[in-house]
Each structure stands twice: as structure tokens, then as C-alpha cells.
Amino acid sequence: MASQRDGVRRNVTAWRPPIPGVLEVFHARFTEYAYPMHVHEAWTLLIVDAGAVRYDLARHEHGTPHDTVSLLPPHVAHNGSPATPDGFRKRVLYLDFSQLGEDLIGPAVDGPDLRDPVLRRRVAQLHTALARPGDELEAASRLAFVGERLRAHLRPRAARPARRDPVLARQLRELLDERVVQGLTLAEATGLLPAHPAHLVRAFSSAYGIAPHQYLMSRRVERARQLLLAGRAPADVATATGFYDQAHLTRHFKRLVGVTPGRYRTST
């Protein structure tokens, strides 16, 4: 939604995705607008894609250049305003306490701006996944890794080598195989296979060289190919194989096969 008043340009998109732990996704482009001091009940995870933001948190001034991830804790007042003449473009996630506990508020106040290229890339990838209906397993998996890395920044500890867990990986693969069409959320998987979400995803990826969401999509595409060769229409195939809609099928099918479902169906 775009608007302009008093020479101030505003372009805002917000939604609540069906991903446990994410209360809101907020994308905005502002020129001269400045936020007054305010508080949130949730964690504010912020990346800036263009321009820069300056803000005050707990009576200290901070900034958010494009290579920084900013994590503003709940219940602590902050403001925000453009730090460059052309304003700023930002992407924000509001996370609940299932992702970051109240015990981490103090460390976040002390160091809200994180210079971490890997974290910055993962947060951007998470935003991309959250914007695509039907990719909820990918979004939840990416959120698990983002949360893990944030907690490591706020609660540093010695790095530990990744622990392989082939039994857990096999159990998750069997669950995915049983639910190719129905699908499986990360919350359901961790309920059936008691394990931390990040460990579950990492164990699977380590064992099979592919993330759980990629495995599920490849199994769906495999089924879709057989139905297309049998003469089914792409729209029907999308429904029959668990995709959100035909566009969702087309995106993953083209990525894995190299052509659209329609082209594949007429190639034989």
C-alpha cells in the first residue's frame, strides 16, 4: 500500500504468515517519516535494503547500514528515522518469545546491531520464503536457523561441531514420504520427533545433502511428472500433488526439470 502526504512517501506491506513464531511481516519504504519513541511486545528483527535508519534504544544512538541485522528487544522504547536523504527501505519480522526468550532482552539492549553476513543472508532468504504461499516448511526451517544464530550472538558459547543423527534423519524422511501430498510443518515434525527444529533440519540435510523442504518439493515434482505424462492438466496435477496452486507447481517444476509443466506435458 503506497501513500504520500506532506511530501512524505510511504509504501507499506504487512501480513501475518502461518508460521509459528512469526507474528507479523512488515515491508516499508519511507522517505522523511520518523517514528516517535514507542515499544513493541515482540522482538523486532530488522534489515535495511536501501538507505539507512538511525534510532535510539535505551538512550543510546544506533544505526542500521545495509550489511547489518538489527534486533530490537520487546518492552524497550526506541524510535527511528532516515539517516540518508532518500530515506530507507526495510524488511521487518516481529517474533514471539518462542524464538527468543525474555532472558535475552538485556544482551539485545547492549548490542542490537549485528554485523553478520551469514545472518543477513538468512534473514533475507526467510523473508523470500514467507512471501510464497505453499513454502511454509521452507520458511519454518529458515526461521529455525535464524533463531539459532541470533541466540548464539546473544548467548555466545564455544562453537560445537555439527552432530550427525542418521536415525533422526531417516525418521523425518519417512514422515515426509508418508505426507508428500498432505505436507508436513516443522512444528508437526518436532512434535512427532522430539528434537529442536534447527537440529532436525540440520540432521536431515547432513544425511541426505538436501533440506527437508527441498526433499518434499522434489518428491512432489516427481509425482507431478508422472501425472503430466498420463495426460493430466497442470492445474489438476498441482492439486493432486500437494502444491498450493498451479503457479506454485510451475515455480518448483521449472527449477527442477528445466521447463514448465505445460511444456513438459506436450513434449511427448
Do 90 and 65 share a structural domain?
Answer: yes
Indicate the pLDDT class of residue 59, thresholds 50, 70 and 90: low
Do 54 and 30 share a structural domain?
Answer: yes
Burial class (CB in 10 A: 0-12, 13-18, 19+), 240: middle
What is the pLDDT at residue 267?
66
Would you say residue 161 lies in a domain?
A: no
- pTM value is 0.85
- Kind and range of the H or E run holding 216: helix 212-229
Do 22 and 59 share a structural domain?
Answer: yes
What is the pLDDT at residue 165?
85
Mean pLDDT of the chain: 88
* Across 85-102, average pLDDT: 91
* Across 60-89, average pLDDT: 83
**Which domain range does residue 182 map to?**
166-209
Do 193 and 94 share a structural domain?
Answer: no
Do 9 and 113 share a structural domain?
Answer: yes
Do 66 and 26 share a structural domain?
Answer: yes
Do 130 and 184 share a structural domain?
Answer: no
Indicate the pLDDT class of residue 9, thresholds 50, 70 and 90: low
pLDDT at 266 over 50: yes
50 strand-pairing partners: 89
Do 256 and 150 share a structural domain?
Answer: no
pLDDT at 140 over 60: yes
pLDDT at 190 over 50: yes
